[in-house]
Chains A and B, each alone.
Chain A
Amino acid sequence: MQVIHLEGTEDTPKVMLDKGTGIFEISGRSLPEDAAEFYSPILNWLGEYAKAANPKTDFVVKLEYFNTASSKLILDTLSKLEGIPNTTVVWYHYEDDEDMQEAGQEFAELVDVPFEFKVY
């Protein structure tokens, strides 16, 4: 499977989706003008990955900030993980960032995938 590796920018997150190394991570800031366009390749990739997933998948979300346009697409991204066996969403937030922690908890309530919360 092809690897998705995007460097983060001022308004888009760093994305690493690599089945071979088992690294699945979105980090940084997500406030693109057109979130649907930015997340579309990620959603497609996960759709393909779900057909032949690794025995275990840790999907790391380490976002410092995301806008509301991205939040819908993050929900869609996490929903793609539903049904992939042995999948965990590892949701990182700064210790003092209650809003980001709460955002993670809300996503955990909206998708049927176990979440693990970590502080960085």
Chain B
Amino acid sequence: MALIQYLFKQNPMKYIYDIQQLMSNKNLMLVYEGEFTQEITKSVLSMTERNLESVGEENNIKRKVFNVMVECLQNICKHADSNENITEDKGAVFMIGREDGNYVITSGNFIGNDHVPKLKEKLTHINSLDKEGLKSYYKELIKNSELSDKGGAGLGFVDIARKSGSKLEFDFERINDQYSFFSFKTKISKED
């Protein structure tokens, strides 16, 4: 290891090795950074599906992973549209990996500071609910949301909590006066 580090010390291409090592150590199957669109969502989904199929993953786990991925990716897509005030660092990141027998789906994107309290409150509320509580919250939201709002009534996060069966992990890192970086993590247990 020491020799490798020495050889790479002044190497401008070392970042490639660093990324390979990071992905390998973190068991990351897929990392995507950049612009998020429906086309990108479809590509990321089909790549992950093929990956899960090639390792012979169980159908119900595959479906849950797929489900959580769709909601995460479409959340970022939807959010990117309403984020015109953020001019720099508009990119977002999406990752899926394995950790201690779980699939771990993570995403990160910039959001306006003014949106932070409401989102934090929503996620905290979801985490305070048990299985039955989540079910009735979901039904309440679906009944009362408007047809025109493209499902943006926060159903996505509730659905992620229900399908994953685990608490939502999140963090808001304040970047400057205008915006913060929202990190979001969901675990899907491979044992039911």
Q: A10-B46, A33-B74, A69-B74 are in contact. Are A106 and B147 (CB under 8 A)?
A: no
Please name all residues of chain B whose beta carbon is closer than 8 Å to the beta carbon of A33 when the two chains form the complex. Answer: 38, 74, 77
Stretch of A19-27, A71-79, A84-92 at the chain-chain interface: A71-79
- The SS class assigned to the B binding surface is helix
Please name all residues of chain A whose beta carbon is closer than 8 Å to the beta carbon of B142 when the two chains form the complex. Answer: 71-72, 75, 110
Nearest residue (CB) in A for B151 is A69
The answer to whether A36 has its CB under 8 Å from any CB of chain B is yes
Contact of A68 with B151 in the complex, beta carbons under 8 Å: yes
Contact of A68 with B60 in the complex, beta carbons under 8 Å: no
A interface residues, how many (CB within 8 angstroms): 26
Q: Output the residue of A10, A31, A72, A76 with the most chain B CB within 10 A.
A: A72
A52-82 Cβ-contact flags toward B at 8 Å (1 or 0): 0000000000000101111111011000000
- The SS class assigned to the A binding surface is helix
The answer to whether A46 has its CB under 8 Å from any CB of chain B is no
Contact of B42 with A65 in the complex, beta carbons under 8 Å: no
A3-33 Cβ-contact flags toward B at 8 Å (1 or 0): 0000000110000000000000000000111
Q: Output the residue of B60, B138, B151, B152 with the most chain A CB within 10 A.
A: B151
Contact of B74 with A70 in the complex, beta carbons under 8 Å: no
The answer to whether A109 has its CB under 8 Å from any CB of chain B is yes
Nearest residue (CB) in B for A10 is B42
Bound together, the chains give a CA A69 to CA B148 distance in angstroms of 10
Stretch of B64-72, B87-95, B168-176 at the chain-chain interface: B64-72
Please name all residues of chain B whose beta carbon is closer than 8 Å to the beta carbon of A94 when the two chains form the complex. Answer: 59
The answer to whether B124 has its CB under 8 Å from any CB of chain A is no
Output the least CB separation between B50 and chain A (Å): 13
* Chain B contacts with A in 7-37, Cβ cutoff 8 A: none
Please name all residues of chain B whose beta carbon is closer than 8 Å to the beta carbon of A70 when the two chains form the complex. Answer: 151
Contact of B150 with A11 in the complex, beta carbons under 8 Å: no
Stretch of B98-106, B109-117, B155-163, B182-190 at the chain-chain interface: B155-163
Bound together, the chains give a CA A36 to CA B142 distance in angstroms of 14
| Interface residues, chain B, with chain A CB atoms under 8 Å away | 38, 42, 46, 59-60, 63-64, 66-67, 70-71, 74, 77, 135, 138-139, 142-143, 145, 147-148, 150-153, 155-156, 158-159, 163
| Interface residues, chain A, with chain B CB atoms under 8 Å away | 10-11, 31-36, 65, 67-73, 75-76, 94, 96-99, 106, 109-110
26 contacts between A and B (CB under 8 A): A10-B46, A11-B42, A31-B70, A33-B77, A35-B150, A36-B148, A65-B70, A67-B70, A67-B71, A67-B151, A68-B151, A68-B158, A69-B151, A69-B155, A71-B155, A71-B159, A72-B142, A72-B145, A72-B151, A72-B153, A75-B143, A96-B59, A99-B67, A106-B138, A106-B139, A109-B139
